[in-house]
Structure 1
Amino acid sequence: MTFNDDSQLSGGKVKRRGRTAAIGGGAVGGLALLVYIVSAVSGVDLTGVLGGGGGLTTIQQGGDTVDAAPECRTGRDANASVDCRMEGAAESLDAYWSAEAPRLGITYTTPTFYLFQDSTDTGCGTASSATGPFYCPPDRALYVDTSFYDELQSRYGSSGGPLAQMYVVAHEWGHHVQQLQGTFADTDRSGTGASSGSVRVELQADCYAGAWVGDAATTEDADGRTFFEPITRTQIDDALSAASAVGDDSIQRRSTGSVDPDSFTHGSSEQRQRWFLRGYQQGATSCDTFSVPGDAL
Structure 2
Amino acid sequence: MRFNPNSRLDTGRVSDAGRGASRGRSGRRSSSSKGFPLPGGAAGGGSVIGIIIAVVAFVIATQGGGSTLPEMGGGAGGGYDTSAFSDTGRYAGCRTGADANESTDCARVAVENSLTDFWSGELESGFRPVQRLVTFSGGIDTACGGATSDVGPFYCSADDSIYLDDAFFDDVLAGALDGPRGAFVEPYVLAHEYGHHISNLIGTLGQVTGETGPQSSGVRLELQADCFAGVWTKHATETEDAAGNVLLLDLSQDDIDTALEAAKTVGDDYIQKQSGGRVNEEVWTHGSSDQRRKWFMIGYDQGGMEACNTFEIDRV
Fold conserved between structures, TM > 0.5 = yes
Shift of 1:66: 5.3
The equivalent of 2:126 in structure 1 is 107
**For the aligned residues, what is the CA RMSD?**
2.2
Shift of 1:265: 0.4
Deviations 1:51-110 (CA, angstroms, capped at 9, x unpaired): 4699xxxxxx964135541111122211222221110001000000000013xxx41001
SS in 2 for 1:256: coil
Q: Is the 8 A contact 1:62 1:121 kept in 2?
A: no
Q: Is the 8 A contact 1:35 1:47 kept in 2?
A: no
Q: What residue identity is the alignment partner of 1:136?
A: C
SS in 1 for 2:12: coil
Q: Is the 8 A contact 2:91 2:106 kept in 1?
A: yes
2: CA distance, partners of 1:153 / 1:232:
21
2: CA distance, partners of 1:292 / 1:273:
18
2:258 is the alignment partner of 1:238? yes
2:224 is the alignment partner of 1:195? no
1:1-297 matches, cutoff 5 A: 1-18=1-18, 19-21=21-23, 22-26=25-29, 28-31=35-38, 32-35=41-44, 38=57, 40-41=59-60, 43-49=64-70, 51=72, 63-65=85-87, 68-102=90-124, 106-111=125-130, 112-150=132-170, 151-185=172-206, 187-283=207-303, 284-294=305-315, 297=316
Shift of 1:40: 3.2
Q: What residue identity is the alignment partner of 1:23?
A: S
- Between Structure 1 and Structure 2, the one with more helix by share is 1
Q: Is the 8 A contact 1:244 1:269 kept in 2?
A: yes
1: CA distance, partners of 2:286 / 2:201:
20
1: CA distance, partners of 2:155 / 2:10:
23
1: CA distance, partners of 2:3 / 2:119:
18
2: CA distance, partners of 1:157 / 1:3:
28
Shift of 1:141: 0.8
SS in 2 for 1:127: strand
SS in 2 for 1:162: coil
Deviations 1:106-152 (CA, angstroms, capped at 9, x unpaired): 41001121111111001111111110000011111111111111122
Moved more, 39-48 or 247-256: 39-48
2: CA distance, partners of 1:165 / 1:289:
24
Deviations 1:251-294 (CA, angstroms, capped at 9, x unpaired): 11111332111111000011101100111111222101011212
Shift of 1:188: 3.1
1: CA distance, partners of 2:286 / 2:146:
21
SS in 2 for 1:114: strand
Relative to the length of structure 1, the TM-score reads 0.89
Unaligned runs of 5+ in 1: 55-60
SS in 1 for 2:250: coil
Q: Is the 8 A contact 2:208 2:221 kept in 1?
A: no
Moved more, 146-155 or 258-267: 146-155
Shift of 1:216: 0.2
The equivalent of 1:57 in structure 2 is none
Q: Is the 8 A contact 2:67 2:211 kept in 1?
A: no
Distance 1:65 1:50, change over 3 A: farther
Q: What is the count of residue pairs matched by the alignment?
A: 285
Q: Is the 8 A contact 2:67 2:212 kept in 1?
A: no
Distance 1:50 1:233, change over 3 A: farther
The equivalent of 1:58 in structure 2 is none
Q: Percent identity?
A: 39
